[in-house]
Amino acid sequence: MSGATRHRAAWIAAGLAALALFPLVGGKFGVDFVTKMMVFAIFALSLELLAGQVGLVCFGQAAFFGIAAYAAVRFTPQAAPASVWWLAPASVGAAGLYALFMGSLSIRTRGVYFIMVTLAFSQMAYYAAHDTPLGGGTDGIYLTLVPTFTLAGLEIADLSKARPFYYFALAVLVLTFGALALLLRSRFGRALAGIRVNEQRMRAAGFSTYPYKLAAFVISGMVAGMAGFLFAVKDGFVNPELMSWHVSGTVLMMVILGGLGSLHGAVLGAFAFSLLQELFKSEAVFGDFAKHWHLGVGATIIVAVALLPRGLAGIRFRSTAHAETQMNADESERR
Amino acid sequence: MDVATFLVQCLNALQYGLLLFLVASGLTLIFGIMGVINLAHGSFYMIGAYMAYAFAPAFAAHAGWGFFAALGLGLVLAVILGYALEWAFFSFLYERDHLQQVLMTYGLILVFEELRSIFAGDDVHGVAAPGWLAGSVPLGDLMSYPVYRLFMSAVCLAIALAMYLVISRTRLGMMIRAGASNREMVQSLGIDVKLLYRGMFAAGVALAVLAGMLAAPVTSVYPGMGNPVLIICFVVVVIGGIGSVKGALAAALLVGVVDTFGKVLFPQAAGVLVYVLMALVLLWKPDGLFRAA
């Protein structure tokens, strides 16, 4: 294990411990807010897989988020609450199906064209929810029956309560992070990295790159769907704005702010972005100026771009010789 | 649909398309030549509309010159703004990854929106069209068409023509075209790329501001008005092919027609039609209609 990896593992463990202990000290608002941050972190991880690892910058990630959220509401029976064991896979599956459709067409284009085609497909989902009875129009629809989470007849967690839901979201975040980390170390993950660095060369080496990109696209859509499912259960309410391009834009900004190319960057970016918004919205800190919170967020983002070319994940606390060479190696790999 | 309605819708489509062209042409040039994905371009449109609101007394005056003076002043301010922005925020970004530029310009959108909120408030304002353009032209027995919209289309057409002449017939246009196809080569041939970029950027800002000023009497002036325009203009840019002004014109008119007639013929699906159009075009031609070589 190299020094840099050990440092990173220590930081991740510390962050995990802080998240696990937070509900003991955080009040109602705090627990709710951190739950939202974790849901966005899962959402950001889904985009990091595509944009950071394969180099496919998707500007339609909100479609999967929103479709799974709508599916969670629509699939819940009228009479009795659903079980998480089938509702979550069904919602994620719905997002995955749309990702399969969207990905199979859009990965034929590249670069900025890819960005715009994915936007087009997510806008189609947005208007489908906005203009048809299926989505309940602009008002959205309520999820009145929170799904149950039981095993062999015993309740594991009451998801309608804030703290149990917090730990549920944390568990999903950890599992998603772990699964993606394993995936990226596998042969499949190395092939994705190869496609990002030089797709031509991968083809010349005998890889058919299309199925790899499509698989990554569908996995990403499903992870985003998981975040959307959590969001619907948490808020008990869905509306078409969940699929608007603002949401796709926000999650893209989180990933870029965190630093493309690393999973922990996506989580850092999601947390930092949410905290930044909350900080500048806080009337305790900024008084009357808090209603102009966009100004503070915007200015901070501009400063962050100017000072942190590699995102938050690129910050090195100790610039040892090893870290320097590692950075240079990364740099030349990316070129 | 009778002939007069059809004619009115055609004129609406033309006017909307040409307005989109003004914003999208700047976007496509900045994009194609400087390689900057400028999300803040919609904000320039908004700034233009608010300038029209700020200059409203002169803008809507009955005598003709106040209107042109307001437009001229707006353009001068826009060029200064564009020049300063390029110097302060963009000049150090060219070496960076595209996505860093996306993040930076996203930050700029937030800053511009909030400055607008601080200085101009969050209310919706109407801007009167200049008095001498306030009438309308009768079409058939029942319909009429506002003169101001015709005037807008005429101005946009004149600008499109001027851009065509500059880009295809002048030395400057040659540099712009060369820059769109191979930046490094232009630089190594001894052209001051820095200055070219700064000028291009300022011109792009000026076009968007002009579009905003012209549109203000038609659309009124409201918070967040730049965002939908930005997204539609990106659609126009990719349909047309990045960096191609000709493509931007064709795509803008196409989007204008699809959007206007979509709203009349398929009101339920109006919003989505433009995106369906883009998806179809890109699946057919993955590089847009007129990719600059």
pLDDT in tens, chain B (293 residues): 678 888 889 999 999 999 999 999 999 888 888 888 888 999 999 999 999 998 887 776 666 677 888 889 999 999 999 999 999 988 888 878 778 888 888 889 989 999 999 998 888 888 888 877 878 888 777 778 888 999 999 999 999 999 989 988 999 888 888 877 777 888 888 888 888 888 989 999 999 999 999 999 888 899 889 888 988 998 899 899 888 888 999 999 999 999 999 988 888 777 788 888 988 888 888 888 886 54
Q: How far apart are CA A39 and CA A59, in angstroms?
A: 18
Q: What is the pLDDT of residue B168?
A: 87
Q: What is the pLDDT of residue A335?
A: 43
Q: How far apart are CA B100 and CA A40, in angstroms?
A: 20
Q: How far apart are CA B215 and CA A106, in angstroms?
A: 34
Query: Which residues of chain A are at the B interface, by a Cβ-Cβ cutoff of 8 Å?
Result: 51, 57, 105, 108-110, 112-113, 116-117, 119-121, 123-124, 127-128, 130-132, 245, 249, 252-253, 256-257, 260, 292-295, 297-302, 304-306, 309
A324 HSE (CA, 13 A, CB side): 4
Q: How far apart are CA A224 and CA A45, in angstroms?
A: 8
Q: What is the pLDDT of residue A306?
A: 85
Is the CB of A301 less than 8 angstroms away from the CB of B107?
yes
Q: How far apart are CA A120 and CA B275, in angstroms?
A: 5
What lies within 8 Å, CB to CB, of B149 at 6+ separation is B11, B12, B15, B218
Among chain B residues, the shortest Cα distance to A251 is held by: B103
> Which stretches within A26-154 are classed as H helix?
28-47, 61-75, 84-106, 111-131
Is the CB of B272 less than 8 angstroms away from the CB of A117?
no
Residue B258: closest CA among B47, B26, B13, B87: B13
Taking a contact as any Cβ pair under 8 Å apart, which residues of chain B between 263 and 292 contact chain A?
268-269, 271-272, 275-276, 278-279, 282-283, 286-288
Residues of chain A short of pLDDT 70, as ranges, are 1-4, 316-335
Cβ atoms within 10 Å of A286's Cβ, excluding its own: 16
Q: What is the pLDDT of residue B60?
A: 66
Best of A117, A248, A260 to disrupt the B interface by mutation (most B CBs within 10 Å)?
Answer: A117
Q: pLDDT, tens digit, for every residue of B164-220?
A: 899 889 998 888 888 777 778 888 888 888 888 889 899 999 999 999 999 998 888
Q: What single letter denotes the amino acid at residue A232?
A: A
Q: Take residue B211 and report the two structure tokens written for it.
A: 């579009």
Q: How far apart are CA A144 and CA A146, in angstroms?
A: 6
Among chain A residues, the shortest Cα distance to B35 is held by: A112
Residue A216: closest CA among A88, A102, A94: A102
The complex scores an ipTM of 0.82
Question: How many angstroms separate the CA of residue A209 from the nearest CA in chain B?
Answer: 17
What lies within 8 Å, CB to CB, of A329 at 6+ separation is none
Best of B89, B268, B275, B283 to disrupt the A interface by mutation (most A CBs within 10 Å)?
Answer: B275
How does strand B143-146 pair with strand B136-139?
A: antiparallel
Q: How far apart are CA B23 and CA B205, in angstroms?
A: 8
Is the CB of A301 less than 8 angstroms away from the CB of B100?
no
Is the CB of B242 less than 8 angstroms away from the CB of A110?
no
How far is C-alpha B258 from the geometric centre of its chain's CA atoms? 18
Residue B278: closest CA among A115, A135, A241, A132: A115
Q: Which residues of B touch A293 (CB under 8 A)?
A: 114
Q: What is the pLDDT of residue B292?
A: 53
Q: Distance from first CA to last CA of chain A, Å, rounded?
A: 26
Q: How far apart are CA B97 and CA A331, in angstroms?
A: 12
